[in-house]
Amino acid sequence: AILMTQSPSSLSASVGDRVTITCRASQGIRNDLGWYQQKPGKAPEFLIHAASTLQSGVPSRFSGSGSGTDFTLTISSLQPEDFATYYCLQDYDYPWTFGQGTKVEIK
């Protein structure tokens, strides 16, 4: 199975900060990568597919980039509602696999 490694596992940031989360695949996955946001006690919400395509309704402060093995999720100006855990998911090959998650906390 393809291993997805996210970094950092957690970070502290302030409202208005620029935040970057990385996700590395153990082998090339083209751009077959999605990003999810999850708040405590809630189901995940789909943010980005195909590495960089924003899902309808997702604020433009979220962006994604990357191809092959290295990917990033960027939040350009962190808002109070963005404090959550973020996961990447590769849908290049079965079994699909998630990264271990990155928790974004308030500084």
Partner 1 sequence: QVQLVESGGGVVQPGRSLRVSCAASGFSFSSYGIHWVRQAPAKGLEWVALISYDGSDKYYADSVKGRFTISRDNSKNTVYLQMNSLRPEDTAVYYCAKSLVDWGQGTLVTVSS
Among 55, 67, 69, 76, binds partner 1 (CB under 8 A): 55
CB of 17 to partner 1, least distance (A): 24
Cα-based distances in Å from 47 to 30, 31, 38, 51, 107 = 18, 15, 10, 10, 23
Nearest to 59 by CA among 82, 42, 41: 82
Nearer to partner 1, 83 or 98 (CB): 98
**Per CB under 8 A, does 99 bind partner 1?**
yes
**Per CB under 8 A, does 98 bind partner 1?**
yes
